[in-house]
Chain A
Amino acid sequence: MKKLFWFKKLTVVVSLFLFPSLVVARPDVIQIKGSDTMVNLGQAWAEEFMNEHPEVSIAVTGGGSGTGIAALINGTTNIAQCSREMKAEEKSKVSKATGKEVKEFLVALDALAVIVHPSNPIAELSIEQLSDIFTGKMKRWSEVGGADEPILVLSRERNSGTHVYFLEEIVRKGNAKGPEEFGANVLMMPSSQAIAQEVERSKGAIGYMGLGYVTKSHKSIGVKKSDGEPAVLPSVESAQDKSYPISRPLYIYTAGEPEGDVRKFLEFSQSPQGQEIVALMDFVPLGTGETA
């Protein structure tokens, strides 16, 4: 009889393991997945939105832009947050898997700051010079007018939308299909936080990250489009008026025209109130006329 008791116990344990899957499958939770850059932004939107609509519940998770797109393809998310434009290949995958067209919404701008250690005398670099540094062609700071020290180059990992954006805009100088690559000496950091930390403690370091991560322990570099042009420091204003060259759009994607609460959430993110949250989270709100 005692053995039967154990059997019952086992059944209880097994059903406990199965139980969470039932909870997760609740249909009235809006799932938002994707870009790590946008997780906090999505979370802030979701909190404010749920304050106004207590009947809706929203779950925001990160993992990278690619993770969000994969979730859209698998149908495990309602909304994919993406810090880069979706590739045509990915769009066709979504429509093949779900039978719906991908809808794109521009929701904010993100300016990428190029940062160095505060003790570094370098104040400005051109895109050409940045490209040479990140491809590994320039190895010492003296080559761009700094101290005779090796350059420690930091990048985000390949699973990051920021990596891809920086690769195309800076390393390849805007020619997305260009031949330039991140040098083999470039350290691939798992998060923006890791880059921030490493730049703080390494004098020779250079890295890039969203404007929101920059603190007093980092020095932002002014970026010149080309040698003759003035250097522009990253800021909300310079991103909005497009004078700062390394700023990028942040997107939200859905499979098919959004409906119901998802639609309301999207409208909220683009509303003046939603854009206020964008500014609060250290991103750059869309300028007037860009919310369509």
Chain B
Amino acid sequence: MMKSRRVLEFFIEGAIFLAGTVSILFVILIFIFLLKEGLALFRTVSVWEFLAGKNWYPISDPPRFGGLSLILGSIWVTAGAIVISVPIGVACAVFIAEVAPRWLREVLKGSVEFLAAIPSIVLGFIGLVTLVPLVQKIFGLSTGLTALSGSLMLGFMAMPTIVSIMEDALTAVPRSYREGALALGATHWQAIWRVVLPAASSGVIAALMLGIGRVIGETMAVMMITGNAARIPTTLLEPVRTMTATVAAEMGEAVQGSPHYFSLFAIGIVLFLITFIINLTADFFLHRKK
């Protein structure tokens, strides 16, 4: 019996070790593959042309791979989503963690987290039939397929991540901090704003970063409601084409091994770098206090 237990232990430990290292290995392999395929583009196109060129005509002859409008498209949609989701997300998390009575807290947190379970394609479809006509009507636009529609949708999608992580960070602040602030004569609001939020700042920022990471990587919903016109956006009320939508839309047609194919991987590298930096920042803040 002892022996069989030890053997079992050995196998389980081995399996866990394997599972842990394999995930790292996969990340490295994916990154190497991405680099290998993406950097191949720069044999024919200069890095500057790819990052700053304004014309994205990948299937023309000769093809042009100016990715600026795509990068800006992603940035505009993401920026809009941040402006929308951050204040609401922070307010929502503060309300749940600090203000709401216990029973309401459970209900609210549960339902916000449930939002995360809705597949993005479903949200995209709902956005297409409800949000897009609404945006068109309110702003009197020729089309509702705009960066703003995408921002609203994505802001909504980032909410569960932001609220849930931030609420955890706020509840983790020791009770004595609040009691101390209140005992010194601070109002409830002052205690939240001056004491609890700063004390939880690392978790708050990490929550925002992870929310942003979710936004910039979103594909399907964005492809359905932002119009996908590859031009340099000047306002949120214009159609934009994001990097993710470009990859998703063009991958099927790109001939394997062609510059077009490589250019989509190059977009992948840009996206990877952006989310990597965001996650790194989040990680930095999350561990700063420990």
Report A's interface with B, CB cutoff 8 A: 3-4, 63-67, 70, 73, 89-90, 93, 149-150, 152, 157-160, 164, 177, 181, 184-190, 194, 197-198, 201-205
Contact with A along B166-177 (1 / 0, CB 8 A): 000000000000
Q: Is B214 an interface residue (CB 8 A)?
A: no
Contact with A along B126-161 (1 / 0, CB 8 A): 001000010010000011110000000000000000
Establish whether residues B230 and A184, one from each chain, have CB atoms under 8 Å apart when the complex forms.
yes
Residues of A with C-beta under 8 A to B145: 187, 198
Q: What 3 A-B pairs have minimum CB-CB distances, sorted nearest first?
A: A184-B231, A66-B253, A159-B253
Establish whether residues A64 and B255, one from each chain, have CB atoms under 8 Å apart when the complex forms.
no
Contact with A along B240-259 (1 / 0, CB 8 A): 01000000011111111000
Chain B nearest CB from A182 CB (Å) reads: 8
Establish whether residues B250 and A184, one from each chain, have CB atoms under 8 Å apart when the complex forms.
no
Establish whether residues B252 and A205, one from each chain, have CB atoms under 8 Å apart when the complex forms.
no
Contact with A along B244-277 (1 / 0, CB 8 A): 0000011111111000000000000000000000
* Interface of B, helix, strand, loop or mixed by DSSP: loop
Q: Is B223 an interface residue (CB 8 A)?
A: yes
Chain B nearest CB from A39 CB (Å) reads: 14
Establish whether residues A188 and B143, one from each chain, have CB atoms under 8 Å apart when the complex forms.
no
* Interface of A, helix, strand, loop or mixed by DSSP: mixed
Establish whether residues A90 and B241, one from each chain, have CB atoms under 8 Å apart when the complex forms.
no
Establish whether residues B228 and A90, one from each chain, have CB atoms under 8 Å apart when the complex forms.
no
Establish whether residues A3 and B8, one from each chain, have CB atoms under 8 Å apart when the complex forms.
yes
State whether A89 and B12 are in contact (beta carbons under 8 Å apart), knowing that A152-B143, A186-B229, A190-B224 are contacts in the complex.
Answer: no
Establish whether residues B255 and A194, one from each chain, have CB atoms under 8 Å apart when the complex forms.
no
- Closest chain B residue to A181, Cβ basis: B57
Establish whether residues A194 and B229, one from each chain, have CB atoms under 8 Å apart when the complex forms.
no
Establish whether residues B57 and A159, one from each chain, have CB atoms under 8 Å apart when the complex forms.
no
Which segment of B41-49, B58-66, B185-193 sits at the interface?
A: B58-66
Partner of A158, one of B55, B143, B224, B253: B253
Chain A CB count within 10 A is highest, among B143, B223, B224, for B143
27 contacts between A and B (CB under 8 A): A63-B252, A64-B253, A65-B253, A66-B254, A70-B256, A73-B256, A93-B255, A152-B142, A157-B249, A157-B250, A158-B250, A159-B250, A164-B59, A181-B60, A184-B232, A185-B229, A185-B231, A187-B143, A187-B228, A188-B227, A189-B228, A190-B223, A190-B224, A194-B224, A201-B136, A201-B144, A202-B136
Cα(A157)–Cα(B228), bound, Å = 9
Residues of B with C-beta under 8 A to A70: 252, 256
Establish whether residues A4 and B8, one from each chain, have CB atoms under 8 Å apart when the complex forms.
yes
Establish whether residues B59 and A90, one from each chain, have CB atoms under 8 Å apart when the complex forms.
no
Establish whether residues A159 and B224, one from each chain, have CB atoms under 8 Å apart when the complex forms.
no
Establish whether residues B249 and A188, one from each chain, have CB atoms under 8 Å apart when the complex forms.
yes
Q: Is B69 an interface residue (CB 8 A)?
A: yes
Partner of B69, one of A4, A149, A184: A184
Cα(A164)–Cα(B252), bound, Å = 14
Cα(A97)–Cα(B198), bound, Å = 62
